[in-house]
Amino acid sequence: MNTTKFLLSTIAYTVLLTIIAIVYHETIFGSYYYGFNIYSAGKDFSIPVALTGTFIEGAVLSYLVQKFSPQGGGVRFGIFMGVLVCLFASSYGVFQTAALENVQGAGRAMFMVLEFVAMMLYGVIGGAVVGWINRK
């Protein structure tokens, strides 16, 4: 395994996802999330916890991509990334959001399916873009 590529991809994933998360959770839906009372431990409490989780997630994804990704990039790589993102990124996010929203029964199942599909599409598009960039 290429250690430099592993570290750089983990850091890039952490920085990029943190920027997206701050814009999404604070700027776009900030007042909505404050209504959940999840910042009761203090607003700054969630930032180091989220950064640590994102860094671990990035390290796992970087390792798995280097170890098991299909060669050639493009759609196959995109599908591979979609499955990884679906398993690692959305799995805990689905349950956490469903619990915050108090989604029950069939609604929870439908919410999970839609979240998994969204993450799969995110991974496929991201993987296809990475494959396209690598071919240039």
Provide the residue-wise pLDDT of the chain in tens; the chain has 136 residues: 788 888 888 888 888 877 877 777 677 766 666 665 555 545 555 667 778 878 888 888 888 877 777 666 666 777 777 777 777 766 555 555 555 555 566 666 676 677 777 777 776 776 666 666 666 5
b/e map 25-53, b = 16+ CB within 10 Å: eeeeeeeebeeeeeeeeeeeeeeeeeeee
Taking the domains of the chain in order of start, what are their residue ranges? 1-68, 70-136
8 Å CB contact between 78 and 124: yes
Would the pTM count as exceeding 0.75?
Answer: no
